[in-house]
Amino acid sequence: MIIIRKFQPADFPWIIDIERKVFNEHDPYLYMKFYENYPDTFIVAQINGMIVGYVAGFQAGDGVGRIFSLAVHPLYQRRKIGNSLLNEIIHVFTEMHIKEMILEVRWSNIVAKKFYQKLGFFQYGIAEKYYNNAEDACLMKLRI
């Protein structure tokens, strides 16, 4: 059974593990800082006591919510866990009177672009050389 709930500090090692497996690009301690600043919009998915995915978002302006990071452990992908995490953060953002959500995704990350498009996100721009390796970011938005 999957439990979707708010991040707790004891989840931190699981988050680091998932981050290293899927991105390996953020300083993991950013996530603790993130929790200190935005505890309501740092959400995890738990199965049998293990954390298998997370989404970290924050209010980025008046009526705007931004996704900082979203990931599902490779062994648990394609089971609608990403979907459940995103739906939960949409719910929380809605309660915060947020009207639109934005995020950036690597231009080469076809899977994530498909994933977000399926949930109704659309591309509204490109940030050139946004990432450390000079890759462009696809800017995506969802009206909620």
Ligand X SMILES: CC(C)(COP(=O)(O)OP(=O)(O)OC[C@H]1O[C@@H](n2cnc3c(N)ncnc32)[C@H](O)[C@@H]1OP(=O)(O)O)[C@@H](O)C(=O)NCCC(=O)NCCS
Q: Using CB under 6 A, list all residues that contact ligand X.
A: 22, 69-72, 77-83, 105, 109, 111-112, 114-115, 118
| Smaller CB separation from ligand X, 41 or 69 | 69
| Smaller CB separation from ligand X, 78 or 97 | 78
- Provide DSSP, the chain: -EEEEE--GGGHHHHHHHHHHHT--S-THHHHHHHHH-GGGEEEEEETTEEEEEEEEEEEETTEEEEEEEEE-GGGTTSSHHHHHHHHHHHHHHHTT--EEEEEEETT-HHHHHHHHHTT-EEEEEETT-STT---EEEEEEE-
Name the minimum Å distance from CB 137 to ligand X.
10
Name the minimum Å distance from CB 112 to ligand X.
4
| Smaller CB separation from ligand X, 3 or 97 | 3
| Smaller CB separation from ligand X, 62 or 114 | 114
Name the minimum Å distance from CB 119 to ligand X.
8
